[in-house]
Structure 1
Amino acid sequence: MNHSPAPAEPPEPARILVVDDDPTVAEVVAGYLTRAGHLVDRAEDGQRGLDLAERHRPDLLVLDLMLPGLDGLEVLRRLRARPDRADLPVVLLTAKGDEADRVLGLELGADDYVTKPFSPRELVLRVQSILRRARTAASAAPAGPLCSGDLALDPRARRAHRDDRELALTSREFDLLAFLLRHPGTVFSRQELMQRVWGWDFGDLSTVTVHVRRLREKIEDDPGAPALISTVWGVGYRYDPAAPVRDGAA
């Protein structure tokens, strides 16, 4: 009798939009994603990318930062300004010297980035990791509201308030704050936060640093001397609630 394990199920196909003006890069990326089982659309400039994102409703966007006309950052800004596209997962393609633009892209809500030259196989793995996380989050039953001092989060409505003032959080910032509220007083490394909050098996750990900094700017009285999200040097980050965290539905 054959007791060999059953083969792993292939990932569920997704519709992916690749926006890159370099035909060679776009062809290679599209080829690898197609062989991974996905349906791929391509655009050669920012405006065309926005048009296809509206028309074809992709599940994920692979976006080059250096584009003719509308650059990648402007495309990302416009997408995040659309309520129906605000949560579209985005992977940026960046040049090695574009660190400032990469950070800005993360602050605008990009999910991850890869630096050129890159391994197409690694890009596919990152894409599939992000898609898996997005689908898991969409199918999971949202938890009840969370409250701590003047902070209140409603996972079902995806809204957060402080002192009755709504906080303008990106999807990644919201998920990070919700996770920290559910685990007060526990230290998490950046690697743990990447995996447990966003399900990323790959990525630059500075991504976490950027999201923590942005979140501090929105919830701390003094982001330069944070009292809620503490840095534990050499380990990671810890949420120190100003008041006990409670389930707002209780």
Structure 2
Amino acid sequence: MTKVLVVEDIPSEMALISSFLQESGYAVITATDAKEALEKVAQYKPDVVVTDVVMPGMSGFELCRSLKKNPETEKLPIVVCTSKNQELDRLWAMKQGADAYVTKPFSREDLVRALKSVVV
């Protein structure tokens, strides 16, 4: 079963993403900020990370950079899931190391399609 780490600071968004993924057959691990996400990546070795961008402390973009800089996690696929829907935001996310980009609001199909596109 594919393990997905969901990084989201808004409880309702976390619940929605988690339920979509669980219904689609993924094992879900959660973190409410990027610092906790880095700890969970080391602890649980997820197959993919789904992260918000705007979070307290470290942003999702900073999380991407941190994961891609580390030789142990540089190949870890990252899906950015955010309300930032400008083309510039998408380009910046890819430059930071994101492998896919989903804008809120999204459907379960949008999220699962993004995951399938990055998890081999």
Q: What is the TM-score normalised by the length of structure 2?
A: 0.92
Q: Which residue of 2 aligns with 1:61?
A: 49
Q: Which amino acid aligns with 2:65?
A: R
**1:115-130 pair list within 5 angstroms:** 115-130=103-118
CA–CA separation in structure 2 for the residues paired with 1:63 and 1:43: 9
Cα distance, 1:98 vs structure 2: 4.6
**Is contact 1:94–1:102 with CA below 8 Å preserved after alignment?**
no
Unpaired segments ≥5 residues, structure 2:
none
User: How many residues matched?
Assistant: 120
Cα distance, 1:95 vs structure 2: 1.7
Secondary structure at 2:39's aligned position in 1? Answer: helix
Q: Which residue of 1 aligns with 2:80?
A: 92
Unpaired segments ≥5 residues, structure 1:
1-12, 135-250
Q: Which amino acid aligns with 2:21?
A: L
Q: Which residue of 2 aligns with 1:21?
A: 9
Q: Among residues 18, 34, 50, which one is paired with 1:46 in the alignment?
A: 34
CA–CA separation in structure 2 for the residues paired with 1:95 and 1:122: 14
Cα distance, 1:32 vs structure 2: 1.3
Q: Is structure 2 residue 62 aligned with structure 1 residue 77? A: no
Cα distance, 1:64 vs structure 2: 0.4
**Is contact 2:102–2:114 with CA below 8 Å preserved after alignment?**
no
**Percent identical:** 36
- CA deviations on 1:80-133 (whole Å, 9 max, x unpaired) are 1100100100100122445433211101221110111111222012212321xx
- CA deviations on 1:4-40 (whole Å, 9 max, x unpaired) are xxxxxxxxx2000000101111111111111111110
Q: Among residues 17, 21, 24, which one is paired with 1:36 in the alignment?
A: 24
**1:1-250 pair list within 5 angstroms:** 13-131=1-119, 134=120
What root-mean-square deviation, in Å, do the aligned CA atoms of Structure 1 and Structure 2 show?
A: 1.3
- CA deviations on 1:156-197 (whole Å, 9 max, x unpaired) are xxxxxxxxxxxxxxxxxxxxxxxxxxxxxxxxxxxxxxxxxx
